[in-house]
Chain A
Amino acid sequence: GENVEQHPSTLSVQEGDSAVIKCTYSDSASNYFPWYKQELGKRPQLIIDIRSNVGEKKDQRIAVTLNKTAKHFSLHITETQPEDSAVYFCAGFKGSGYALNFGKGTSLLVTP
Chain B
Amino acid sequence: DGGITQSPKYLFRKEGQNVTLSCEQNLNHDAMYWYRQDPGQGLRLIYYSQIVNDFQKGDIAEGYSVSREKKESFPLTVTSAQKNPTAFYLCASSIGRGHDTEAFFGQGTRLTVV
A residues with CB within 8 A of B: 1, 6, 9, 31-32, 34, 42-46, 49, 51, 89, 93, 95-97, 99-105
A26 and B49 CA atoms in complex are apart in Å by 23
Give the interface size bracket for B toward A. Answer: 20 to 34
User: In the complex, are the beta carbons of A99 and B45 less than 8 A apart?
Assistant: yes
Most-contacted residue by chain A among B44, B50, B105 (CB, 10 A): B105
CB distance from B100 to the nearest CB of A (A): 4
Tell me the interface secondary structure of chain B in the complex.
loop
User: In the complex, are the beta carbons of B102 and A46 less than 8 A apart?
Assistant: yes
A99 and B101 CA atoms in complex are apart in Å by 10
10 residue pairs bridging A and B, Cβ less than 8 Å apart: A9-B40, A32-B101, A34-B103, A44-B90, A44-B105, A46-B102, A93-B100, A93-B101, A95-B99, A99-B48
Most-contacted residue by chain A among B90, B98, B100, B101 (CB, 10 A): B100
User: In the complex, are the beta carbons of A103 and B42 less than 8 A apart?
Assistant: yes
Within 8 A of A (CB), among B9-45: 31, 33, 35, 40-45
Checking B50, B58, B105 against A96 with a beta-carbon cut-off of 8 angstroms, the contacting residue is B50
* Known interface pairs A96-B96, A104-B41; 13 further A-B residue pairs with C-beta atoms within 8 A, sorted by A's residue number: A6-B42, A43-B105, A43-B108, A44-B90, A51-B99, A93-B99, A96-B99, A96-B101, A99-B33, A100-B33, A100-B92, A102-B44, A105-B43
